[in-house]
Structure 1
């Protein structure tokens, strides 16, 4: 009997308007604002739309026309709001969404549009509303689940996770270091959720930088690992250190293996925590027979499983694991509601007489899963004894030759009561465990860790030890070797990383042509000079006109995916790829440090960049990506800075980015040159709230040394701002010292971000680009600071000093 995929009823048009519903105090307005900025859509609010249509506020309308007339008018305006804003909007609904007519309209709207229920903890809503109203509001709020098709858990995280591990250190330059605000964490979570439900996230990441760790889904990587985490384990250990889960797998498989009371809320919170703490794709798996639960009649069990699986889809997880041997109605229901979530179709062959790999029924299983539209097919087989690897390899070859492309990626392995038989059986999504958590209830991943599995690839000569570098004219004291070496060890890679001083392209070429060359971080003078010699560049590097990461292209074919999956392998490089992590490191630090009062407003916010080299280019680009449309540049050598400004103004014009209109008239140019520090700030523009100093510790190639200080008149922003100093030797540059004094005596609203913060972020993204593996961020930052402190001790005794940013 042939099978076919049921229609996906939640595959909405990517530009379909997104509706937000939920209780008062749930955060809909803030999330709507963040979402509209991210997706570049109009934000439509119910209050504003009512006033726009009627010419009156709600209160004014009730006063003039009475409550009955208001109820009728309000219902009509609500329906009109949905109907007239069907595309390109984020629509924030007020409490009118609880009215029966509004609920009917939302149910109809949800057939063609995402309607997202914003769920927030009762404790947080209670802080915002009168206690007498909370219980009644939350009870009514349950109706929002009935008229929505997606759900976002607006997590409150008291831990403040994500702030720099160095925030509390006593290093001279890091006083009042910026950890991410709660608003930043919410923005990152919600925009990731929006990217998934609109289907734009992976596509955008691929187009911008195909070597980015987020650009290639785990099922299409050369090797990937799924860290299995059971819900029961999370509930038994509520004080787990989430930082210790970092980079333990390419994705998290959350196994729902217990059914406590208030299960829906518990699962939603755990999904939100994984998103917030780890930021990796989530595989959502509902176990068929939860341990410790009473046996239920088949109908009751199927109903419960269907609700739990639908909850995973509503939460917008990346993957839903679906057992295809389950009830057909349950399977079809999940496939109908899959939306943008990918489906992993499973076949578990249990017991001593498990179906052999080369049995034709295995081929038929793959065929039926493929016909159902599964995105990944996973077949796991219980193995009582050792099985030959050649048999599983032969099965893979049969799949490859039997089915035409495109065919879903195959995950296939044997397991026993001791765990997966061999970590090399499955190339992708291999189940692994956390090295320090013994989970007696999980027989699928009790042996292997991601580190151990990856180490084995090198021992089996499937991957090769490579040599990585930081290259430039002043890199001998770079922090990169220590940070990268620590990350290599954490991930189980026998690579080396060293700093090599060189200043000509011929010197650079001699290093890069080696078969063992893995990649390099580039410092001055190579960031701009290397550009004409690169075959492929990321979107960002092209826009900036400079690169700081150089990678060899070794794929057997000409496809970028093949080149990306050839990382960690030796051989002759056909050509080279260039990317830029300087800009994204600066952007990350700015986002962490910007206060809500200084949130970027494209028409008003101004930024100031000091310098005109490769780092200055990255800083300008970071400001533009942040939404700043008025970037001022100062450099001691005027000719250099004019060239940089012309580059970005030309690029912005090609992208349709303009500065808009200021008080002194319209300006299409987003970059403007400041000719002198002695002149007042240009009239008609706000004083800068973001200042980025991009000059090295000592003069290199005509650039000014890091002895810059801000004219005091330029520091008069009434809301303060952020100063990012990229040089870190010395850590307290004249600018940093000036800002410490200014903050203490004049304006405490300024935040200082030192060079160690920025260089740590650069190293993290560079590691991921060079290896294709998730970076152990906390470890790398800790090693960077400790290495810097050790260098300070050595410099104190020898009088040596460091230059550059690497």
Structure 2
């Protein structure tokens, strides 16, 4: 069957104004309040809750109003307040609906509201809700909760996050959000998932990632990378999987979730699997509904179309990144899905699954592409069964015809042959090539039986499409660096024949000699280069510019000045046209601080105090990390006072330009965010809270005026009644005097202090550097394990460097 060309894309009915308020509905215990706090903080919006809005309007709590006025008056007032809440807060808010949304009239109003606003149905594991509510109440509420699907246009499955059992405190609906975030900083999984979901449905995620660092894995969508791979996972397998989620890490640039069965409670099962992929793997999701599910009879079109459309619309409601749409279905079916696409990208498919498949050079294949383009598809995927040889030249000739005969803008093309043995060759399609996990049996899946991500990528090097490169860690004292071991393990995992070595050097001339080599792939920089190289770089990330220091250096080898061209020239040798500088020190610190900080010490801009020891490039990243976390009081101590003053001025000037200074005013001027401590013998500054976040950035040996790692803290600086977090960046030796000091405090009855050792932060830096340098997802668990093993081996008896 050949689809006819012509026709325009139907109007997208689920793209809303960027300022439209976001409404959360769902059962009590589903986590709406917590998600509301997280969303309001992330989007910098005001949080409105139904309970508090009711009290604001009536002057009475719900219980008090019911007691004084009776059920009938309460029901009328409830609906009136509900409508007023939505109407009077239609922009710039996150609205948390309470149980009033279960009323029939309220749901009708929500349905109308959802035409112009995102209305998100929040649900979670029934077992978790049952733990929070009385069994009888839970059963009744869960049954009523199913009605929320009918009045919402989006859906979020709130997976249980075992990183914290703390609930945020309840406060007034219109007070600043940052005063109500206690407990949220430990909900790492929930926060990362939900903010990613919000970024996708509001359309701001890719743009923000690109502006922050155009070389990050998140900044370049898989369809625009030089090479990308889609790992196929079937719903029937995930429901009874024999591997751990960690085993799928870095096995593909995205996951293609194939809905191939209809279990009981199908919608919730699918929603949970989408949530698990987001939580465990953190990669884009392609959502594909198989036309003939396993164990189901073949259905006539009048049954098949409504069910398939419902399942596809579920994928759109779940906010998946991509939806796979069969354009060979009838026009009404296709248009129904396209009208509800929202921010989800559409992969338009033409699949020829049997003998007599349409040849590549048949004009019908060009018409297929043109049809997908006219419908506004973001990617076009053409797949054909091939029982005989299919020379690569034939498919390449088809690609040439598309390039030359189809006007711009042309959506990226995925095209390949397959047989009963799998994809004909992993190199037929450069983007979104189907791959499998090597340990999964592919029953009834011919599209990924022979290819794995690492095997396909390795083949690119063997065929000289990519080049082995040399990567480095460069600095004055890098002999004990763990980077070579971690990066080398990641290269082996990903099928890349690169090398990584530590080279001691201390002059920019020596650095330049290494970087101008045609085989230079990139470098991690340590002292003395992080700040010194800044004036020599024309292209830097937003964060590196703000920090004033670089710790990752990349060659730019694109044939044009376009950043995407440079990004897709990674893993290729040649003369560098220029160099790009980025900073992963700060983001690694943020990750580790978020993991370690307790709910009692959540960041309050007007109160929370941070302390940074040192004034070099690493200290700059630490100060920036604290500011990004919301801290607006940062003290700096360094042995060389003038260096600390210079760093403080740099950040105070930057904070002033960003409008991030503390809200308090002194003599009509904004106080400095960064202040310098002149001496360890001085008492802690009066009027400032004791630090709850301490980052020691002093090296193992004295460099650039910084104190060596034998630094210990004055006890008066460690008297925070709620303790805090101490991050020790030095890991050589593994237990520095500062770590020993904090451990001693814990043993003497101050257990509230949490220790983050340098190895944990260095592991996060290595992971981010690997992704920046290669453009590939990092095997995070492997790299962390190798770093820990390497440090243990260095300090084992008999080791000689």
Place the TM-score, normalised by the shorter chain, in its bin: over 0.9
The answer for the alignment partner of 2:710 in structure 1 is: 707
Residue 40 in structure 1 maps to residue 44 in structure 2: yes
Contact 2:665 2:671 in 1 (8 A): no
Residue 31 in structure 1 maps to residue 51 in structure 2: no
Gaps of 5+ in 2: 165-183
CA distance in 2, matches of 1:277, 1:547: 30
The answer for the alignment partner of 1:172 in structure 2 is: none
Deviation, 1:665, is: 9.8
Residue 447 in structure 1 maps to residue 450 in structure 2: yes
Gaps of 5+ in 1: 161-179, 801-806
Alpha carbons of structure 1 residues 682 and 660: separation in structure 2 relative to 1, 3 Å: farther
Residue among 524, 531, 534 paired with 1:531? 534
Contact 1:513 1:573 in 2 (8 A): yes
Residue 299 in structure 1 maps to residue 302 in structure 2: yes
Deviation, 1:735, is: 1.1
CA distance in 1, matches of 2:162, 2:656: 43
Contact 1:473 1:523 in 2 (8 A): yes
Contact 1:664 1:683 in 2 (8 A): no
Residue 112 in structure 1 maps to residue 116 in structure 2: yes
- The DSSP-based 3-state class of the residue aligned with 2:239 is helix
The answer for the alignment partner of 1:131 in structure 2 is: 135
Residue among 347, 363, 366 paired with 1:363? 366
CA distance in 2, matches of 1:797, 1:421: 49
CA distance in 1, matches of 2:191, 2:643: 37
The answer for the alignment partner of 1:235 in structure 2 is: 239
Residue 211 in structure 1 maps to residue 210 in structure 2: no
Residue among 79, 87, 95 paired with 2:83? 79
Contact 2:493 2:779 in 1 (8 A): yes
Deviation, 1:157, is: 5.3
CA distance in 1, matches of 2:243, 2:730: 36
Contact 2:692 2:723 in 1 (8 A): yes
Contact 1:472 1:526 in 2 (8 A): yes
The answer for the alignment partner of 1:473 in structure 2 is: 476
Residue among 705, 728, 735 paired with 1:725? 728
Contact 1:375 1:409 in 2 (8 A): yes
CA distance in 1, matches of 2:665, 2:750: 26
Number of aligned pairs? 778
The answer for the alignment partner of 2:607 in structure 1 is: 604
What pairs up with 1:303-314 in 2 under 5 angstroms? 303-314=306-317
The answer for the alignment partner of 2:511 in structure 1 is: 508
Residue 375 in structure 1 maps to residue 362 in structure 2: no
Please list the CA deviations of residues 507-527 of structure 1 after superposition, one character each: whole Å capped at 9, or x if unmatched: 000000000100000010000
Q: Report the aligned-residue RMSD.
A: 1.6
The answer for the alignment partner of 2:172 in structure 1 is: none
CA distance in 1, matches of 2:619, 2:395: 53
What pairs up with 1:359-508 in 2 under 5 angstroms? 359-508=362-511
CA distance in 2, matches of 1:117, 1:720: 38
Residue among 542, 551, 554 paired with 1:551? 554
The answer for the alignment partner of 2:740 in structure 1 is: 737
Contact 2:558 2:567 in 1 (8 A): yes
Deviation, 1:636, is: 1.4
- The DSSP-based 3-state class of the residue aligned with 1:793 is coil
Deviation, 1:717, is: 2.1
Please list the CA deviations of residues 617-654 of structure 1 after superposition, one character each: whole Å capped at 9, or x if unmatched: 00111111111111111111110011111111111111
- The DSSP-based 3-state class of the residue aligned with 1:381 is strand
Please list the CA deviations of residues 720-775 of structure 1 after superposition, one character each: whole Å capped at 9, or x if unmatched: 21111100011111111111111122321221110110000000000000000000
Residue among 155, 158, 163 paired with 2:159? 155
The answer for the alignment partner of 2:781 in structure 1 is: 778
CA distance in 2, matches of 1:797, 1:125: 54
- The DSSP-based 3-state class of the residue aligned with 1:142 is helix
Contact 1:548 1:580 in 2 (8 A): yes
Comparing 609-618 with 744-753, greater Cα deviation is found at: 744-753
The answer for the alignment partner of 1:327 in structure 2 is: 330
CA distance in 2, matches of 1:649, 1:585: 22
Contact 2:186 2:594 in 1 (8 A): no
Please list the CA deviations of residues 549-573 of structure 1 after superposition, one character each: whole Å capped at 9, or x if unmatched: 0000100011000000000000000
Contact 2:163 2:186 in 1 (8 A): no
- The DSSP-based 3-state class of the residue aligned with 2:187 is helix
Deviation, 1:715, is: 2.0
CA distance in 1, matches of 2:675, 2:749: 28
Contact 2:186 2:595 in 1 (8 A): no
Deviation, 1:680, is: 2.6
Alpha carbons of structure 1 residues 665 and 132: separation in structure 2 relative to 1, 3 Å: farther
- The DSSP-based 3-state class of the residue aligned with 1:699 is coil
Contact 1:431 1:444 in 2 (8 A): yes
Contact 2:185 2:602 in 1 (8 A): no
CA distance in 2, matches of 1:63, 1:667: 50
Residue among 575, 592, 606 paired with 1:589? 592
The answer for the alignment partner of 1:163 in structure 2 is: none
CA distance in 1, matches of 2:292, 2:35: 37
- The DSSP-based 3-state class of the residue aligned with 1:412 is strand
CA distance in 2, matches of 1:394, 1:334: 32
Please list the CA deviations of residues 275-294 of structure 1 after superposition, one character each: whole Å capped at 9, or x if unmatched: 00000000000001123212
What pairs up with 1:597-636 in 2 under 5 angstroms? 597-636=600-639
CA distance in 2, matches of 1:664, 1:725: 37
What pairs up with 1:207-286 in 2 under 5 angstroms? 207-237=211-241, 240-286=243-289
Alpha carbons of structure 1 residues 157 and 671: separation in structure 2 relative to 1, 3 Å: closer
Comparing 61-70 with 451-460, greater Cα deviation is found at: 61-70
Please list the CA deviations of residues 132-179 of structure 1 after superposition, one character each: whole Å capped at 9, or x if unmatched: 21111111111111110000000125699xxxxxxxxxxxxxxxxxxx
CA distance in 2, matches of 1:141, 1:192: 25
Please list the CA deviations of residues 411-437 of structure 1 after superposition, one character each: whole Å capped at 9, or x if unmatched: 000000100000110010000010111
Deviation, 1:662, is: 8.1
Deviation, 1:681, is: 2.3
Contact 2:616 2:704 in 1 (8 A): no
Deviation, 1:72, is: 1.9
Comparing 4-13 with 739-748, greater Cα deviation is found at: 739-748
What pairs up with 1:740-779 in 2 under 5 angstroms? 740-779=743-782
- The DSSP-based 3-state class of the residue aligned with 2:307 is helix
Deviation, 1:48, is: 1.7
Contact 2:639 2:705 in 1 (8 A): no
Please list the CA deviations of residues 653-674 of structure 1 after superposition, one character each: whole Å capped at 9, or x if unmatched: 1111111228999744221212
CA distance in 1, matches of 2:546, 2:235: 44
Contact 2:120 2:153 in 1 (8 A): yes
CA distance in 1, matches of 2:556, 2:143: 58
The answer for the alignment partner of 2:320 in structure 1 is: 317
Please list the CA deviations of residues 32-59 of structure 1 after superposition, one character each: whole Å capped at 9, or x if unmatched: 1011111111111112222222233223
Please list the CA deviations of residues 197-251 of structure 1 after superposition, one character each: whole Å capped at 9, or x if unmatched: 01111100001100001000000000000000111111232x5311110000000
CA distance in 2, matches of 1:46, 1:631: 37
Comparing 407-416 with 182-191, greater Cα deviation is found at: 182-191
The answer for the alignment partner of 1:647 in structure 2 is: 650
CA distance in 2, matches of 1:72, 1:716: 55
Contact 1:234 1:240 in 2 (8 A): no
TM-score normalised by length of structure 1: 0.94
Comparing 483-492 with 677-686, greater Cα deviation is found at: 677-686
Contact 1:681 1:713 in 2 (8 A): yes
The answer for the alignment partner of 1:4 in structure 2 is: 8
CA distance in 2, matches of 1:146, 1:768: 41
Contact 1:254 1:283 in 2 (8 A): yes
